[in-house]
Amino acid sequence: MISGLVQILLFQGLGELVSKFALPLVPGPVLGLMALLAYLWLKGSAGASLDLVAATFSQHLGLLFIPAAVGVVMFWPQLQAHALSVIVALVISVMLTIAVTALILKALTGEDSDAG
Amino acid sequence: MQANLPPIAEIWVYLSGSPLLALILTLSAYQVGVLVYERLGRNPLANPIAIAVFIVAVAITLIDMPYPKYFAGAQFVHFLLGTATVSLAVPIYKGFNALSGRVLPLLLALIGGGVTSVISAVGLARLLGADTAIIGGLYAKSVTAPIAMGVAERIGVSPTLTAVFAVSTGVLGAVLGRYVLDFVGVRAWWQRGFALGVASHGIGTSRAFSVHPEAGAYSSLAMGMHGILGAILIPVFFSWFK
């Protein structure tokens, strides 16, 4: 568990450094993700410890959004005058985005397995 | 009088000055959210994050705790968002074996979805008469919040508004995704997961992982790809549109 966490933190640090000094266009965590991916590719396996940490994080990814999302809820009343147009735009847009992405994939690969 | 002050008030003052209260609040609200979600058979309408956020928002309003004070404690949870993003390399790596032959379709689907996201949101908001500041906040809304805020700064629109729309989009996608995907008849887990990740980033990915591991892996792949491509292409898009 600890060695996996250390590896992830090191790659996060690496990503932050590269983002700050070389590639300000791409955020640090994304660069860290890419670097870790390249490392796993070269190494050929993730190892039990890294596996465990990553599984824990992806299982509880939602928890990490709560502090920021609470701020969002507090902010919404300030949008009162525009709330309706924004909500309509957000709801329709997210539905269209999901539908278009999924339909392009289905059309291009023709795969239709698994149960819905 | 002072000596007779009930000790509870002292405890209260002590706790609200430390990060502990915000952390307890955040984690227990999440626990309740997950319990309700599980109890209702993982129904997408009972989104655990939305439930937890509602509980925390009501709680801090009731105890009169200003948001900055809450966040000062909860930032320890928030910080891990970057760490969790890095750790998504592992499920993506594991999904790689199944990826061969899918790279081009995935890339095209991402571009199609990303363009749809921007055009539909900006177009609709414009049509409904929203003002320019709000419309600007919609450009990066399908990109994961930390990246979206960086993009917002670069194109000169409000990072706060962008984050508000990104998080709202994440929750909406997690809640509505299943119905949209059933409606358009897309059944393969990897396709469903990828679509969810393109449209509603981390919060959609969280939902995808709770439904099926393959959906989760493809959703995190979509979120990462959209983050990278969005950071580069959305500023270009913005300069065409405005």
Contacts of B70 in chain A (CB under 8 A): 67, 70
Quick check: B126 pLDDT over 50? Answer: yes
Which residue type, as a one-letter code, is found at position A33? L
Comparing CA positions, the residue from A16, A7, A100 lying closest to residue B109 is A100
What share of chain A in percent tops pLDDT 90?
Answer: 52
Query: How much is the average pLDDT of B52-63?
Result: 94
Quick check: B213 pLDDT over 70? Answer: yes
pLDDT of residue B4: 60
Query: How much is the average pLDDT of B230-237?
Result: 87
Q: A72 to chain B: nearest residue by CA?
A: B164
pLDDT of residue B5: 58
A44 lies in the same domain as A83: no
Quick check: A91 pLDDT over 70? Answer: yes
Q: Rounded to the nearest 10 degrees, what angle do helices B67-87 and B19-39 cross at?
A: 60
Radius of gyration of chain A, Cα coordinates, nearest whole angstrom: 20
Our count of domains for chain A comes to 2
A30 lies in the same domain as A82: no
A82 lies in the same domain as A109: yes
Select the more confidently predicted residue: A111 or B18. Answer: B18
- Residue identified by tokens 């990814």 is A61
pLDDT of residue B18: 79
Q: Do B203 and A65 touch (CB under 8 A)?
A: yes
Query: How much is the average pLDDT of A47-63?
Result: 90
Q: Do A26 and B228 touch (CB under 8 A)?
A: yes
Domain that holds residue A82: 66-116
What share of chain B in percent tops pLDDT 90?
Answer: 55
Calculate how close chain A gets to B15, using CA atoms only, in Å: 18
**pLDDT bracket for residue A116 (50, 70, 90):** very low
Contacts of B210 in chain A (CB under 8 A): 59
Q: Do A66 and B52 touch (CB under 8 A)?
A: yes
A70 lies in the same domain as A37: no
Contacts of B185 in chain A (CB under 8 A): 106
DSSP state letters, A33-61: HHHHHHHHHHHS---HHHHHHHHHHHHTG
Q: Tens digit of pLDDT for each residue in B77-87?
A: 988 988 998 99
Quick check: B34 pLDDT over 80? Answer: yes
Select the more confidently predicted residue: A19 or B108. Answer: B108
* Cβ burial, residue B147 (10 Å; 0-12/13-18/19+): buried
pLDDT of residue B242: 65
Q: B167 to chain A: nearest residue by CA?
A: A69
A1 lies in the same domain as A54: yes
A50 lies in the same domain as A88: no
Q: Tens digit of pLDDT for each residue in B171-205?
A: 999 999 999 999 999 999 999 999 999 999 989 99
Mutate to test the interface with B, among A26, A50, A58, A60 (most CBs of B within 10 A): A58
pLDDT of residue A82: 84
Contacts of B191 in chain A (CB under 8 A): 102, 105-106, 109, 111
A54 lies in the same domain as A76: no
Quick check: B211 pLDDT over 70? Answer: yes
Calculate how close chain A gets to B8, using CA atoms only, in Å: 26
- Residue identified by tokens 């509870």 is B8
A53 lies in the same domain as A73: no
pLDDT of residue B1: 46
Q: Do B88 and A54 touch (CB under 8 A)?
A: yes
Query: How much is the average pLDDT of B147-164?
Result: 85
Q: Do B113 and A26 touch (CB under 8 A)?
A: no
Contacts of B53 in chain A (CB under 8 A): 66, 69-70, 72-73
**pLDDT bracket for residue B24 (50, 70, 90):** very high
DSSP state letters, B136-190: HHTTTTTS-HHHHHHHHHHHTS-HHHHHHHHHHHHHHHHHHHHHHHHHHT---HH
Longest dimension (CA), chain B: 77
**pLDDT bracket for residue A52 (50, 70, 90):** very high
A51 lies in the same domain as A77: no
Query: How much is the average pLDDT of B110-126?
Result: 95
Contacts of A113 in chain B (CB under 8 A): 187-188
Q: How far is residue B162's CA from residue B152's CA, in Å, rounded to a whole number?
A: 7
Reported ipTM: the value is 0.87
Comparing CA positions, the residue from A78, A94, A92, A76 lying closest to residue B124 is A92
A31 lies in the same domain as A72: no
Which residue type, as a one-letter code, is found at position B66? P
A81 lies in the same domain as A40: no
Which residue type, as a one-letter code, is found at position A42? L
Q: Write out the two tokens for A70.
A: 């609470």
**pLDDT bracket for residue A89 (50, 70, 90):** very high
pLDDT of residue A111: 67
Inter-residue contact A12 to A32 (CB < 8 Å): yes
Nearest to B180 among A40, A72, A95 (CB): A95
Q: A112 to chain B: nearest residue by CA?
A: B188
A51 lies in the same domain as A92: no
Query: How much is the average pLDDT of B23-36?
Result: 96
Calculate how close chain A gets to B138, using CA atoms only, in Å: 8
* Residue B153 neighbours by CB under 8 Å, 6+ apart: B159
